[in-house]
């Protein structure tokens, strides 16, 4: 499946003795294991493993370490709009609003889908579309609330 990857690997001086059996392994499977599994010991060189995990997230390779990073309280990507829809803040008003925040986000996403459909001029549905059809009237009001809150990003 990854001929080009295998080819690139072949070019590496290090690969040749093992190259053949390697070409079949998928890079995602390998990265998942060598970056996220195995024995973790801090060597002499101070390499921040968390940095490495987050770098891989940044590279959008695999999101294998998100849960682990979260456990350690690292969640900057949630505030980065290019990495998470949750970067749009609507949680400022208090913790009790978590549930309604989810609903609001749901509505906002539906509204966005409706807008996109309208913009394309097609009632196109996404290949992965789940859930029910948006209710246009309701969505519009939700959209307005969202827009008002949209100002305080980050």
Partner 1 sequence: MTEEAVPAAGQEMSYVYAVCRAGTPVETALAGQPGLEGAPLRTVRAGELAALVSSVPSVSYGTEGVKAQMEDLDRLEVLARTHHAVVEAAYEHAAVLPMRLVTVYLDDGRVGEMLGARAPEFSALLARLEGHVELGVKIYADPREAVAVTGGAPETDTAASPGRAYLQRRRSQQRNHRETYRAAGSVAAEVPARVDGIARAHVAHRPQQGDLAQAAGENILNDAYLVQDAQADAFRAALAGLADDVPGVRVEITGPWAPYSFATPPAAAEGDTR
Q: Which residues lie near partner 1 (CB under 8 A)?
A: 1-2, 5, 8-9, 12-19, 21-22, 25-47, 49, 51-52, 55-56, 58-64, 66-67, 123, 125, 127-130, 133
| Burial of residue 111 (number of CB atoms within 10 Å: 0-12, 13-18, 19+) | buried
Output 95 or 127, the one with its CB closest to partner 1.
127
Output 40 or 99, the one with its CB closest to partner 1.
40
Rounded Cα distance, 144 and 147, in Å: 5
Rounded Cα distance, 10 and 81, in Å: 38
Closest to 149 in 3D by CA, of 88, 87, 86: 88
Output 63 or 102, the one with its CB closest to partner 1.
63
Output 125 or 153, the one with its CB closest to partner 1.
125
Q: Map residue 41 onto helix, strand or coil.
A: coil
What is the closest distance, in whole angstroms, from the C-beta atom of residue 118 to partner 1 in the complex? 15
Rounded Cα distance, 34 and 148, in Å: 45
């Amino acid at each position: 499946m990854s001929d080009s990857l295998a080819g690139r690997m072949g070019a590496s001086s290090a690969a040749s003795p093992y190259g053949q059996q390697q070409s079949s392994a998928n890079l995602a499977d390998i990265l998942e294991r060598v970056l996220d599994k195995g024995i973790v010991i801090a060597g002499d060189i101070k390499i921040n493993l968390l940095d490495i995990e987050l770098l891989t997230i940044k590279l959008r390779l695999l999101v294998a370490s998100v849960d682990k990073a979260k456990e350690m309280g690292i969640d900057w990507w949630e505030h980065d709009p290019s990495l998470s829809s949750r970067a749009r803040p609507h949680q400022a008003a208090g913790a009790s609003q978590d549930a309604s925040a989810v609903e609001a986000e749901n509505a906002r996403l539906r509204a966005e889908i409706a807008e996109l459909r309208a913009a394309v001029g097609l009632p196109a549905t996404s290949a992965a579309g789940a859930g029910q059809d948006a209710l246009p009237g309701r969505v519009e009001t939700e959209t307005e609330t969202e827009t008002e809150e949209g100002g305080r990003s980050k």
